[in-house]
Structure 1
């Protein structure tokens, strides 16, 4: 499964239609959308007769750009740009998070929506893919300004979201409180409580137990299975984590609980390392108290770029997309890469890692624990019957293990990397649904 990709013809030659590229977003190779398109190009040779529908994967079904004006606390009015992209609805309503970040662009949101389409199909959830975002630095807003921003954005995208249409969830810089505001705004606008319009809500508003740590738990479960197949014992394994929010910190805690040593952590406050292992029992309260790992004692502060040369067994990129380029891929000293973030590895870096024999568990399966428990929350909201956290975790483990097994079988069958295999499994499901539904009118 680490065999490099076979050479492909030019992207225009591999496509089954003469359609032109989208004119309103960058498809440069290292852009998020360009990365997504390259991944689709790579999987197309394995789609057989369904390749005739592959162009639908390169074109989002619906992209909405909205103006989000709000009154600031000082009485001024500021305008922010927001997005909601529904990439595919062939397998069910759209599903995907909403991020607040100063670097959010339409192209990034399109790519994230595309990856959600693949991810939901890879774990066989009855969803299509969607994503949303606002170009804003939420740290510069007061709590009331953040609420006004969220409510106005929800009202603007309310024309395309809904429990059976498109279900947002938390993502970068959004949380359960933001989801509560979104649910309340949508409910007020339709005149009825619609708890299923978002997931990742507070427990008291219909949220699911186990949701906050679900993505990190999924990283651990897939990492545990990959390590077993690779002959890597987790007891004593050295783990490096980039990004220490809900995903990275939860994964780190679970790996530490399995006997692994967390030897390096990087977040927006800096990079810390300890070859003997960081004390998680002391680190976690520090992060909750201070908001980052930068001031943690009992470790070495290292340059951010040196993180990519840390001697470790498992590397978990759990921050933003586009982190592992060719230069960093050549520096990695890990046996296993677990993609906690969406799109952290560029396609040419993927080739380098394959050539070096470094196993990559791709984002579309590795970090699918969050959307899987979001699906559980959605189901529980419709039935008004809620499961225990133990039941949630058992169901999550079973779905993740089975999904990874199916992908691994595909990788072994075609002697292709896990990413291509994950896309092949997912795209077959997506395009089969597209074919059976046909074109209307």
Structure 2
């Protein structure tokens, strides 16, 4: 990965400040929307399989809840920090607002390396962390979901833990759960399907044809891997892929189903036949029509943005582009579909899951995908229209739309008491 650290929260605040300037927000509104509403830090013990006890640190940050309950994922990673979680919570606020679903933004995380932990250790960590943040959680207050290195099983443990405290099952307290306990059809593929919808919309806008378009995807997890499969099925030529082991490249196209089978069997893409290896840094600079960063923050920076050769960048990851890189890409005529729009498919279907759990009535996968397509398509058109009206780029168009919606809700509610 590209190493050029920029504080994710500094990037998030800088993006907000630029939108606030354009919207002419008052000093009072800027002060309110700049700051997280709540920040919970927890230190909790977990008994390891060998009998030792280790204390882990976790966070849950609620940025703004004026449009509805807090919503946001939980990540398990050695890189988790309060600064990162603050940024992700703020981005969630704007993400929910840009697709106009009634949630506020939150995020959570635990500093740990789940790849070095057993299933039992991860379960004990998940349940204890859920207990620690249960003072914030609830179907009407704060609804967590999966994120990096967390999955439906971990959400099941957390939902069960919360339900045990309540004395009855509360499936709507968590989204991203297995189907058997109130999960939604289509949830696992939701973020990637959202990426597909906005990619198709961007291609229509630019007059691009899928069969004549090359794609490079950084990240081969749930979002990157499924995005690669869906775009391959659409007819695009996927020429570059990468995971934590590095990247692979074939200018004539990579057979994505074969790559997915190889990754499942070997644990990564290293050694995939018929491709040449490239580093993750080199992958971002490959000649292509569409570049999809679907890994971590701060991947396209001031150091490498000028060498990005893609015509379109679709931000499937959260915060993959720094503010400095954003300006360079704009100057070079690269169309950037911002993260708060591009990867909002996940939170949209989380919203569907929450609604289904609350009403105890479930939709088919076809209905889910149809509703997701409608919301993502409508949101892309609204962002495009706003950016054209204001003569700005799509990121600022998305921010102007989202921040104005949150500001309106905040203004209408007023300051208590």
Which TM-score bucket, shorter chain as reference? over 0.9
Q: Given the alignment of the two structures, is residue 395 of structure 1 paired with residue 371 of structure 2, yes or no?
A: yes
1:410–1:51: structure 2 CA closer, same or farther, 3 Å change rule?
Answer: farther
- Structure 2 Cα separation of the partners of residues 423 and 105 of structure 1: 24
Q: Secondary structure at the match of 2:212?
A: coil
Unaligned runs of 5+ in 2: none
Alpha carbons 1:150, 1:181 under 8 Å: kept: yes
Question: Could you tell me how far 1:52 is from its partner in structure 2?
Answer: 4.1
**Residues 272-283 of structure 1 mapped to structure 2, 5 A cutoff:** 272-283=248-259
Deviations, residues 389-427 of structure 1 (Å, cap 9, x unaligned): 111101000000101111111100011111111011001
- Structure 1 Cα separation of the partners of residues 279 and 115 of structure 2: 25
Question: Could you tell me how far 1:45 is from its partner in structure 2?
Answer: 2.1
Q: What residue in structure 2 maps to residue 207 of structure 1? A: 183
- Structure 2 Cα separation of the partners of residues 163 and 376 of structure 1: 13
Deviations, residues 166-198 of structure 1 (Å, cap 9, x unaligned): 000000000000000000000001111000011
- Structure 1 Cα separation of the partners of residues 176 and 27 of structure 2: 35
Q: What residue in structure 2 maps to residue 259 of structure 1? A: 235
Q: What is the Cα-based RMSD across aligned positions, in Å?
A: 1.2
- Structure 1 Cα separation of the partners of residues 148 and 346 of structure 2: 13
Aligned residues: 414
Q: Given the alignment of the two structures, is residue 346 of structure 1 paired with residue 307 of structure 2, yes or no?
A: no
Question: Could you tell me how far 1:29 is from its partner in structure 2?
Answer: 9.0
- Structure 1 Cα separation of the partners of residues 153 and 44 of structure 2: 19
2:42 pairs with 58, 66, 73, which one?
66
- Structure 1 Cα separation of the partners of residues 90 and 256 of structure 2: 35
Q: What residue in structure 1 maps to residue 130 of structure 2? A: 154
Alpha carbons 2:29, 2:407 under 8 Å: kept: yes
Q: Given the alignment of the two structures, is residue 91 of structure 1 paired with residue 91 of structure 2, yes or no?
A: no
1:289–1:29: structure 2 CA closer, same or farther, 3 Å change rule?
Answer: closer
Alpha carbons 1:97, 1:169 under 8 Å: kept: yes
1:183–1:248: structure 2 CA closer, same or farther, 3 Å change rule?
Answer: same
Question: Could you tell me how far 1:31 is from its partner in structure 2?
Answer: 0.4
Q: What residue in structure 2 maps to residue 145 of structure 1? A: 121
Question: Could you tell me how far 1:118 is from its partner in structure 2?
Answer: 0.3
1:404 pairs with 365, 380, 383, which one?
380
Q: Secondary structure at the match of 1:235?
A: helix
Q: Secondary structure at the match of 2:10?
A: helix
Deviations, residues 187-228 of structure 1 (Å, cap 9, x unaligned): 001111000011000000100010001001101100110111
Unaligned runs of 5+ in 1: 1-27
Q: TM-score, normalised by structure 2?
A: 0.98
2:335 pairs with 329, 354, 359, which one?
359
Q: Secondary structure at the match of 1:407?
A: helix
Q: TM-score, normalised by structure 1?
A: 0.92
Q: Given the alignment of the two structures, is residue 424 of structure 1 paired with residue 400 of structure 2, yes or no?
A: yes
Q: Secondary structure at the match of 1:385?
A: coil
- Structure 1 Cα separation of the partners of residues 243 and 310 of structure 2: 19
Alpha carbons 1:90, 1:434 under 8 Å: kept: yes
Q: Secondary structure at the match of 1:70?
A: strand
- Structure 2 Cα separation of the partners of residues 368 and 201 of structure 1: 18
- Structure 2 Cα separation of the partners of residues 42 and 48 of structure 1: 10
Question: Could you tell me how far 1:308 is from its partner in structure 2?
Answer: 2.1
Alpha carbons 2:41, 2:60 under 8 Å: kept: yes
Alpha carbons 1:67, 1:80 under 8 Å: kept: yes
Alpha carbons 1:50, 1:428 under 8 Å: kept: no
